[in-house]
Amino acid sequence: MGHAVTDAIVAEAQVQRGMHVLDVASGTGEPALSIAVLLQGTGRVVATDISDGPLKIGEQRARERGLSNIEFVPADVHHLPFADGEFDRVTSRLGVMFFADLPQALREIHRVLKPGGRASLLAWGSMQQPYFETTLGTVLRLLPEITMPASGANMFRFGPAGVLSGLLQEAGFAVVEEKETKVAWNWPGTPEDLWEWFQEVTVPFKPLFAAIPAERREEVNAHVVAELAARYDSREVGFEASIVLASGTR
């Protein structure tokens, strides 16, 4: 689903051959892998994540692609194990929403950038977009007594204009830019599989799913799948995702 989102942050980062790039909260490797390909064997890409398991998947993907200019390092963004001014670029795709201490994390990103280096962050926009309205929104409409957990609400904290760019400025970044844009976010499979996957991987919403009464679960599932089916063309479930891109220079 994330190809267009990856393309958006890679373009925003303005990477050039020979650069040293740090990717924070890489998970299974994106956009670090795409950046390594773009560098065409030059420079250095370091993919980090607080969890080692997903990084091992990223390492396997790098080997399959024959990439020699990328490494995978378990690291906490709040305490990055790198020297001051080590990187030309820092990227993070859909990771910034999960930083426990955002000011500290942004200061660390600022610290490891070279003077003139650029950080580019990508986050979800508002919840009021089809991907979330057909899934979470359907649950909340059917069960108005259930409220969105704080962990879920944080996913959309950067939807209002200026929030993420303001935090970058507070962390010491200059030439700060922010924009909201729309990209394709399409599930290559059936509505049923998408809903099952969504419930498994979207950890911030687990308390919401757990609060669905057992006697209402079949009804809720049927309504969500029906909403998703309206966007299904027999090949994929199609969405246009609203994302926020913010960049700043050290």
Q: Where are the alpha helices (DSSP H) in 113-213?
A: 130-132, 138-142, 150-153, 163-170, 191-201, 206-210
Residue 135 φ/ψ, nearest 5 degrees: -105, -80
Query: Nearest CA to 126 among 99, 102, 155?
Result: 155
pLDDT of residue 38: 97
Q: Kindly report the pTM of this predicted structure.
A: 0.94
- pLDDT, tens only, 50-87: 999 999 999 999 999 999 999 999 999 999 999 999 99
pLDDT band, residue 16 (cuts 50/70/90): very high
26: its two tokens: 């890489």
For strands 20-23 and 70-74, give the pairing: unpaired
Average pLDDT, the chain: 97
Q: What would the mean pLDDT of 211-228 be, rounded to a whole number?
A: 98
pLDDT of residue 117: 98
CATH fold group of domain 1-124+158-184+242-250: Rossmann fold (3.40.50)
pLDDT of residue 74: 97
Query: Running DSSP on this structure, what letter comes out for residue 235?
Result: S
Percentage of the chain exceeding pLDDT 70: 100
In angstroms, how far is the first alpha carbon of the chain from the final one? 32
Which amino acid is residue 165, in one-letter code? S
CA–CA gap between residue 222 and residue 208 (Å, rounded): 17
N residues, the chain: 250
Residue 78 φ/ψ, nearest 5 degrees: -75, -15
pLDDT of residue 23: 98
- pLDDT, tens only, 23-51: 999 999 999 999 999 999 999 999 999 99
Q: What would the mean pLDDT of 152-162 be, rounded to a whole number?
A: 96
CA–CA gap between residue 192 and residue 135 (Å, rounded): 12
